[in-house]
Amino acid sequence: MNKVPFLNVKSLAKAGLESWPQLVSVLSDAQAVESKQAWRSELEPGFRPMRVKTGWTRDALYIHAEIEDVDIFNPEKQFNALSFTKGDVFEMFLRPCDQDAYFEFHVTPENQKLQLRFPSAAALAVPRAKPGLPPEWFISHRVIESRVRVNAATQRWEVAAEIPFDLVCETSQPRSDTRWLFSFSRYDYTRGQEHPVLSSTSPHKVLSFHRQEEWGELRFL
């Protein structure tokens, strides 16, 4: 049976994205969560692992993802474009448990970003007259901080992201007993293959990354 993951978020005295060694060092002993394909009876032949760690300061959540990938690319360059339709993407889903609104952030190997705020899970399920997402669900007034490091020789890319609490928290700021719902997922494209390989840290029974009942829980230490 696939259990919903619990991830302890390490408390950080100080962290920054200016230095990769600093970020990797402060999160070296943080708990990690790994990707899977829980909706399948066995992993696809092209599946490659992803490992994610988290930490927090008074102002922000820090996320560090290590992603194995045999063909690292995404040609999209436009901010808030749907880059997951074109190439590799790392996705972050976050929802403080005391609010209905939740967030989806994407980062590509070229550090192109997509930022979305969904009013609620119910709002996403409402049929719409026009295809696509409402323009007001795209966050364009503020951009999360992220850095990307690509190493084609080792077939690996990494993402470091800083998510400001005042962007995500609409009811209360995190304390040492705060809990959020979370899910980290990825689109792994390989040129010459018709479809990407999808995976998630959540034990989804069916392939739908927005199924919050199967998201994990972040526990702020």
The pLDDT tens digits for 206-218 are: 999 999 999 999 9
Close Cβ partners of 131 (under 8 Å, ≥ 6 residues apart): none
Domain-embedded: residue 29: yes
Domain-embedded: residue 55: yes
The pLDDT tens digits for 169-188 are: 999 888 888 899 999 999 99
pLDDT of residue 54: 96
Close Cβ partners of 139 (under 8 Å, ≥ 6 residues apart): 80, 103, 115, 116, 117, 167
Domain count of the fold of the chain: 1
Domain of residue 10, residue span:
6-220
The mean pLDDT value of the chain amounts to: 93
**Which of these, 65, 89, 86, 77, lies nearest to 163 by C-alpha position?**
65
**Tokens at 7, concatenated:** 């991830």
* 122: pLDDT strictly greater than 90: yes
Domain-embedded: residue 1: no
Higher pLDDT, 35 or 15: 35
pLDDT of residue 17: 63
Query: Which string of DSSP letters, residue by residue, matches 84-95?
Result: GGTS-EEEEEEE
pLDDT of residue 20: 81
| Mean pLDDT in residue range 10-24 | 78
C-beta separation of 46 from 193 below 8 A: yes
The CATH number of residue 41's host domain is 2.60.40.1190
pLDDT of residue 93: 98
**Which of these, 76, 50, 68, lies nearest to 185 by C-alpha position?**
50
pTM beyond 0.85: yes
* 66: pLDDT strictly greater than 90: yes
The pLDDT tens digits for 89-117 are: 999 999 999 999 999 999 999 999 999 99
* 46: pLDDT strictly greater than 90: yes
